[in-house]
Amino acid sequence: MDTEVAVLCYLSVIAAEFFDFRIARLVDRWQTETQPDIRHALQLIMLSTALSALAISSFVFNFAILQEGTGHFPPLFFLLAAALFAAMNNHQILAALVIREIIYGTAFVAVALIDVVRFAPPLNDQIWLNFFTVIFVMYFIIDISRVFLAMYRRNLRHLRQIESEHSKTLEAYQVKSRFVSTVSHELRTPLTSIKGSIDLINTGALGDVPEGYAKLLDIAGRNSERLERLINDVLDVQRMESDRGFSDFVPVDVATLLQESVDANSGFAEKHNVRLELIDTVTNAKIFGDERRLIQVLTNLISNAVKFSGDRKLVEVWSERCGEGVKICVRDHGIGIPDGAHDKVFGYFTQIDSSDQRRSGGSGLGMSISKQIIDRHHGEIDYVSELGKGSTFFIVLKEYNPGLQPLVEPDETSPETGRNALAAE
């Protein structure tokens, strides 16, 4: 008889746990959130909770009946563990917690009453002490359940507040982004006309420039160019934040990329009386990416190196293989970068030395844009520097292997969409 009861209790617990697992999987996979579906899900959860608690309680009660003597410590301890587990893990749904605690509480009292009914002891007997101890433990379990429930509700309120603040912050950020983008476009339209007019005057296309006006027009031309670069940088940031800053990703020859970048910036270097040299490059090496954006990164690195090199200095550009990747370096022999300035170098609108930045120009966006571009290519951009001796900026990109799937793919929008968006802007 004892064996049959044990097997029956064991099977009931296993069946209840299996049913509980199936219900949990079913509810987790539910996609709809209509009121009837929610009610149906709650009903299934309540049914599963009741069956599980009844299976455990019946096992414990039969265990206590089969015991000889008094106390029933093992079954009571088992019930205590089950009740504590329910208090810690079922407080998300109050009805489920109440169902479990009612069933476990009933089982507690039933186990404690076994000896009272069996032996009918006097009031001063140890059996009554055990009974009232069980009642106290029940109060302890109820109090723990209340504490966990209150803690869960408090955390839920905090979570909802955080979600609400996050939603407001995101909305404000989107409004800010749209505003900055709109203002930048509106500024660029009249600026193009102003810059074009100044350029026409400076070239003498409209006649000789009076001697007293030449210097003023030159200053106006340089500042209009600076403002144009700033607006373009701001628009670049907006494009990349909205995942619209890239077009085609194709195999790019490293040697050609470096030569084009050096050629494109040679005039800028000559203007600053700096010698720009491509001293070495790997051959037959390709990287997979957006060639236009990669040239933009190298232009940022080279222009910064030129601006901070000083008169009659040398800026060197080269590439080398680095493990499975290609490392592209730009080295200057200028003022160098102080320790602890890494975040400023790659931050938005941040400048290491504002006076130097004003002297050399720049918006403080070039390096942050470059980092976003290299991150999009799953590469690395960094630098090594020594004050008074210069800096070496480098980017590392994985070498393209035609036999392997490229690490970088175009944006979710089609290349044509990306190009049209850029053209429209």
pLDDT one-digit tens code per residue, 303-359: 989 988 877 789 999 999 888 899 999 999 888 888 888 888 887 766 655 444 444
What's the CATH number where 286 sits? 3.30.565.10
- Tens of pLDDT, residues 224-257: 887 887 887 777 777 777 666 666 788 999 999 9
CA-to-CA distance for 288 and 378, rounded, in angstroms? Answer: 10
Eight-state DSSP code of residue 399: B
Domain that residue 108 falls in: 1-242
Question: Per residue in 51-110, pLDDT tens?
Answer: 888 888 888 888 888 887 767 888 888 888 888 888 888 777 888 888 988 998 899 888
Domain closes at, from 242, 260, 280:
242
Considering only residues 423 and 316, tell me which one the structure prediction assigns the higher pLDDT. 316
Residues 272 and 416 in one domain: yes
Asked whether residue 361 carries a pLDDT value surpassing 70, the answer given is no
Residues 191-213 have a mean pLDDT of: 79
Residues in the chain: 425
Q: Are both 22 and 51 inside the same structural domain?
A: yes
Q: Please give the residue that has the higher pLDDT: either 368 or 185.
A: 368
d(CA 186, CA 58): 76
Q: Say if residue 168 is in the same domain as residue 278.
A: no
Verify that 106 and 195 share a domain, yes or no: yes
Average pLDDT along the chain = 81
Residue 300 shares a structural domain with residue 416:
yes
Q: Are residues 266 and 187 in the same domain?
A: no
User: Strand 325-331 and strand 314-322: pairing?
Assistant: antiparallel
Per-residue burial over 38-47, b if 16 or more Cβ lie within 10 Å, else e, is eeebeebbbe
Query: Are 157 and 201 in the same domain?
Result: yes
Residues 372 and 278 grouped into a single domain: yes
**Nearest Cα residue to 175 out of 233, 246, 240, 238:** 238
Q: What is the pLDDT of residue 422?
A: 33
Among the candidates 242, 265, 288, a domain finishes at 242
Residue 149 pLDDT > 80, yes or no? yes
Say how many domains are in the chain.
Answer: 2
Q: What is the pLDDT of residue 160?
A: 92
Q: Which two tokens stand for residue 304?
A: 């910064």
Q: Read off the pTM.
A: 0.56
Between CA 249 and CA 243 the distance in angstroms is 14
Same domain, 7 and 76: yes
Which of 242, 264, 299 corresponds to the end of one domain? 242
Q: What was the pLDDT predicted at 356?
A: 47
Q: Which is higher by pLDDT, 380 or 194?
A: 380
pLDDT of residue 412: 44
* Two structure tokens written together for 400: 């393209």
Residue 264 and residue 284 share a domain: yes
First to last CA, the chain: 85
Let me know whether 5 and 123 are in one domain: yes
Q: Do 215 and 266 belong to one domain?
A: no
Predicted local distance difference test score (pLDDT) of residue 243: 64
